[in-house]
Structure 1
Amino acid sequence: MTTHYRHQIYTALFTLLLLSAGVQKSFGQREVMNEQYVQNPMAINPGFTGVRETFNMTAVLRRKWFSIPNSPLSQTFAADGTFGEGKFGVGFQALNDQTSYFTTTALSASFAYHLGISDTWKLGLGAQGGINVLPISNGTSFANNRALGSFGLGAWLRSDQFYLGVSKPEILKHGFGDQALSYFYRRPLYIMAGGSYDLNEDVMLLPHVLIVQEKDQDLRVDLGARFWFNEKIGLGASYRMGGGAKTGGTGINFLQFTAEVQVGKNIRLGYFYSTKQIEQIYSTNSGPKGIHELMLKFVPNPNGFQKY
């Protein structure tokens, strides 16, 4: 990697961090979508848009009770691809969340430019924008829905075996009527790193770490790994720790278990179970603490096994 390209990387990442640090108030109403960052890194980093260099579609169904008809559920959908010989990535994401304390509908589009900085390293610089529709209090109820703009930035540096992402998916500041939603809705800074390593001909290890920084909150750290066997079956687990208000509030520590199966070349199915759900920081309602998720991933024209 030449000195010129190193300078480009450092400048881009430093600029992104400056933009992120300029935000003074927390906001981030898409917790459900953001929690799926392992299966869809584009959810927290627009710089990932088009990294896989082929068209991808991912749909996730999230539900507390599968045995109770008409119980609350959430759906997310994400798609991205490239054009211009892989130099440009475009993506789309949609969320309809009914499981959270604050129901949310969100639509966003992302764009990334991918710079080849050496034979083995590439840098993706991305931006995303869209709208989030959520209930806003009028002082007595949550009867009014309001569409709020969304804008974010991200950078994704990668090689065949390693990646590093820095992003701020929400940087706009909004008001929320007569309620203190800004206390709950924060605009976090995400730093994510990971890679892929062949343990032998049949087993691949994909570790990852995510560090989340929010104003007036303790650092949150997610540690996890997935194992793929013969590129057919994937099993993994991750652990979240930290978070919570620096003034004495507690974060939510929990485990997530994942199971995936590659069905042919085009389809991947997944089941994920979290022992707790992120929305518990908003409510102490009784009921199941864990939450189930089902995933369908479709790649019309795969260019090989997709690690991420």
Structure 2
Amino acid sequence: MHICSTRKVAATVAGIFFLALAGSDCLAQKGILYEQYVQNPMAINPAFAGVRESFNMTAMFRRKWFRIQGAPSSQTFAADGTFGNGKYGIGFQALNDQTSAFSTTGVYASFAYHLGLSDTWKLGLGIQGGVNVVPVFDQSLVSSNNTALGSFGVGAWLRSDNLYVGVSKPEVLSPTFGDQRIGYYYQRPLYFTAGGSYDLGEEIMLLPHVLVVQQKDYDLRVDLGARVWFSEKIGIGASYRMGGGSKFSTSKVNYMQLSAEVQVGKNVKLGYFYGTRQVEIITPYNGPQGIHELMLKFTPNPDGFQKF
């Protein structure tokens, strides 16, 4: 009876996942959250909820100009954990974005089912739902009204101790904006991601990753990056984004992100991230291009060093 019930859960989640992947193009509102996928993989893939098999919380603060009082900032929060002896993962995310052209406030909940395929490999199938509150502009793009829109996403995450591969659509639903131009800038991306961990020595760990993003009316985007941890205490990293340009914008989208992290005790990880470009800018812009982010990650009862 237990085996039958487990198979039904897996079949249901898998069915929803593949059905959503086959859907038509729609819109997304969580660009800021998506760009934090290295620090919070659940941002683009709900199947990551519970992968670390311990409760984790991550808070990130994003700001363009630190020296200018009242400058726009964005905040994100994510938490996830497991229950049912690690078979089920749950997650929660919150977003308050004030730095992009289309400010968004949203909350999202994730659920994942983790199936053991062998002694070394596990497959996670996840779904995510929530609400985005976004500004919808009138035809003149002068005034706007905040509108609550539903959000739904799916994903799969295959992993071993040292490798992982993921595929996901974190936004599936199709909000309607009529013939307003705002609709052109909200897209539903399809994500393919892979990465792993390799010991370069007794005290040096390499964590490379690659991300491929496909979406309608945009060029194929590829991110290549890696982080290096020393004695599981200090980590530095860099990633480079190539492609992803839109036919609606003439501005370049290639950019680099640099990172520095430090493990404070067993429970706390602090991080600073600098992007050479604010990726959500959709029109030509001659001002400062960089963006700063601060991270606080807290794990109450860690089961070893958290690599991902």
If the length of structure 2 is used for normalisation, what is the TM-score?
0.92
> Alpha carbons of 1:15 and 1:174: their partners in 2 closer, same or farther (altered >3 Å)?
closer
Distance in 2 between residues matched to 1:210 and 1:36, nearest whole Å: 12
Asked if 1:139 is matched to 2:139, the reply is yes
Distance in 2 between residues matched to 1:248 and 1:283, nearest whole Å: 6
Asked if 1:217 is matched to 2:206, the reply is no
Q: Which amino acid aligns with 2:123?
A: L
> Alpha carbons of 1:32 and 1:17: their partners in 2 closer, same or farther (altered >3 Å)?
same
Structure 1 match to 2:269: 268
Mapping for residues 1-308 of structure 1, pairs under 5 Å? 16=17, 19-25=20-26, 27-140=27-140, 141-176=142-177, 179-245=180-246, 251-280=252-281, 282-308=282-308
Q: Which amino acid aligns with 1:196?
A: S
Structure 2 match to 1:3: none
Structure 1 match to 2:5: none
Q: Is the 8 A contact 2:136 2:144 kept in 1?
A: yes
Q: SS state of the match for residue 42, structure 2?
A: helix
Q: Which amino acid aligns with 2:207?
A: L
Distance in 2 between residues matched to 1:191 and 1:14, nearest whole Å: 19
Distance in 2 between residues matched to 1:169 and 1:23, nearest whole Å: 14
Q: Which amino acid aligns with 1:173?
A: S
Q: SS state of the match for residue 93, structure 1?
A: strand
Gaps of 5+ in 1: 1-8
Q: Deviations over 1:169-210 (max 9, x none)?
A: 001001125522221110000000000011111000000000
Distance in 2 between residues matched to 1:15 and 1:28, nearest whole Å: 19
Distance in 2 between residues matched to 1:244 and 1:17, nearest whole Å: 27
Give the number of equivalent residue pairs.
297
Q: SS state of the match for residue 213, structure 2?
A: strand
Distance in 1 between residues matched to 2:25 and 2:279, nearest whole Å: 23
Cα deviation, residue 283, structure 1: 2.8
Q: SS state of the match for residue 183, structure 1?
A: helix
Cα deviation, residue 28, structure 1: 1.5
Cα deviation, residue 15, structure 1: 7.8
Q: Which amino acid aligns with 2:58?
A: T
Cα deviation, residue 288, structure 1: 1.2
Q: Is the 8 A contact 2:249 2:284 kept in 1?
A: no
CA RMSD between the two structures = 2.0
Distance in 2 between residues matched to 1:14 and 1:144, nearest whole Å: 36
Q: Which amino acid aligns with 1:265?
A: K
Cα deviation, residue 84, structure 1: 0.5
Q: Is the 8 A contact 1:226 1:234 kept in 2?
A: yes
If the length of structure 1 is used for normalisation, what is the TM-score?
0.92
| Greater than 6 Å deviation, 4+ residue runs | 12-15
- Percent same amino acid at aligned positions? 66
Distance in 2 between residues matched to 1:155 and 1:292, nearest whole Å: 30
Q: SS state of the match for residue 42, structure 1?
A: helix
Distance in 2 between residues matched to 1:247 and 1:57, nearest whole Å: 36
